Structure 1
Amino acid sequence: MAQTHHFDAILFDMDGTLVDSTAGVVGAWQLFAETYAGINVEEILSSAHGVRTVENLRNHCGITDTVELEREAERFEAAIVSSANKDGRSGIVKLPGVDAIMKDLQPGAKVPKPVWAICTSATRSYAKAALSAAGIVPPDIFVASEDVTQGKPAPDPYLLGAEKCGVDPTRCLVVEDAPAGIRSGKAAGAKVLGLLTTHTKDQVDDASPDFVVKNLSSVTMKISPDGGVDVTIST
């Protein structure tokens, strides 16, 4: 069954929503386990996704100094890219359905307001590297970790994304794969589409998204002639 809904703007998460960087994230945590004793990579992977790198390093590595946190966050995110690109191939790739949606969201004519944005828990430098590796052109509106005081699950990233798009957050669709990000979108007052790309259905359902699909291959997005985006979700 397919249902179509109209939204003023679409606010995408990045990792696990648009791109798959799993191999790189695992490699980065394995590298940090050599520096910080007691890290259990498997346990971290089950809870760290969707949370800002600085907060993960504070929680799991015990780093409290602000300068050290920022320096280690840069090292961690650089390790994601290098770990994912072993053997001369890019391990950061577009997820299913993303390519078609990205093409459809490029307006053929100027629209009154931006109709989509990326709101990520990653730093801007890593996010740009990851998008480049996956072959995705960043949108004009881009909210990164350093742009907000509080990261997901606080609503700040999605509230800022909606503000930059010049729209009411309650008229936005947030697209997320992580429970923390789903809760962030809900707290911002947006409708949320949950993807089953990195978490189980039970984990995603527990965060109470409005819609759930396996991945974006079940979704189409078309820019409306009068602005905004018509989203068709097949379940």
Structure 2
Amino acid sequence: MVKAVIFDMDGILIDSLPIHMKIWGIIEKELGFKIRPEEGVKFNGMSLREMITYLKKNHDIPATSDEIYEMKMRLQKEMFWDEVTLFKGVEDLLKELNTSGIRCAVATSSERYFMDMVVDKFDIRGYFSGFVSCDDVKKAKPEPEIFLLAAKRSGTKPKECVVIEDAPNGITAAKKAGMKSIAVMTTHTEDALHDADLIVNSIDEISLSLLKNI
């Protein structure tokens, strides 16, 4: 029986990919390097620190890891508040789950600052009983730590949770955590998300009845 739903943030709650791409484009231009398309796919589910470690190892970048991190954080703070949007259907689903007594949690590879900014900007904090960011775990997705902690903070067992994700790393992490998963095709194709228990086109296709039958 489903007692909790764990939501990824980027690509599930918010349409943030265009903003992230714009920010990385600014950083690439300023520092003189180019992220290849296949590298961008690898970044899904990684923390920012992990992305930067990868970039420093595979590109000749004339800046320290800390300098790149501070640049990305500064640009996010400047751009996210005005440009990020909530996906259609998110708030309706949260209301339905809360009314039915299903607990909700957020488990994101983003920093706590941005997780807090998002839930406060859209006034959705009250729907959630647990929050986990990359700042709370030692190992990011595809390791299961982030989802196991989200289950603990929402007061449920892993087998009672369903994860809603948009990235292969997140689906793998859910499987390792012993949780069912629903993949939403906001950032990846159906083929890339084939390990999910269910695949949908958008989050507004997800309902309580669908979750109960997964």
Distance 1:49 1:133, change over 3 A: farther
The match for 1:80 is 76
The verdict on how the C-alpha distance between 1:168 and 1:195 changes in structure 2, with shifts beyond 3 A counting, is same
Note if contact 2:140-2:146 (Cα within 8 Å) is conserved in structure 1.
yes
Percent identity, please: 26
RMSD over aligned Cα, in angstroms?
2.7
Quote the residue 1:180 is aligned against.
169
1:57-136 equivalences in 2 (<5 Å):
57-62=52-57, 69=65, 72-84=68-80, 90-107=82-99, 115-136=103-124
Report what 1:212 is aligned to: 199
Stretches of structure 2 lacking an aligned partner (at least 5 in a row): 59-63
TM-score by length of 2: 0.85
On the 8 A contact 1:11/1:119 being kept in 2, the answer is: yes
- Larger fraction in helix: 2
Once residues 134 and 45 of structure 1 are traced to their aligned partners in structure 2, the CA distance between those partners, rounded to angstroms, is 27
CA distance in 1: counterparts of 2:90 and 2:152, whole angstroms: 24
Q: How many residues align?
A: 208
1:61 & 1:233 partners in 2: Cα distance? 45
The equivalent position to 1:145 in structure 2, one of 130, 134, 145, is 134
**Structure 1: segments with no counterpart, 5+ residues:** 1-5, 223-229
More strand by percentage? 1
Q: Name the residue aligned to 1:226.
A: none
Equivalent of 1:11, from 6, 23, 31? 6
Q: Distance in 1 between matches of 2:94 and 2:74?
A: 25
| CA positional deviation for 1:72 | 4.2
**Is 1:162 the equivalent of 2:154?**
no
- Does residue 1 of structure 2 align to residue 20 of structure 1? no
Structure 1 length normalisation: TM-score? 0.78
Tell me how far apart the structure 1 counterparts of residues 104 and 70 of structure 2 sit (CA, whole Å): 27
Deviation at 1:149? 0.3
Instruction: Find the residue that maps to 2:88 and give its secondary structure.
Output: coil
Q: Deviations over 1:21-79 (max 9, x none)?
A: 1221012211221354433264443321221111111111349xxxx656643541442
1:32 corresponds to: 27
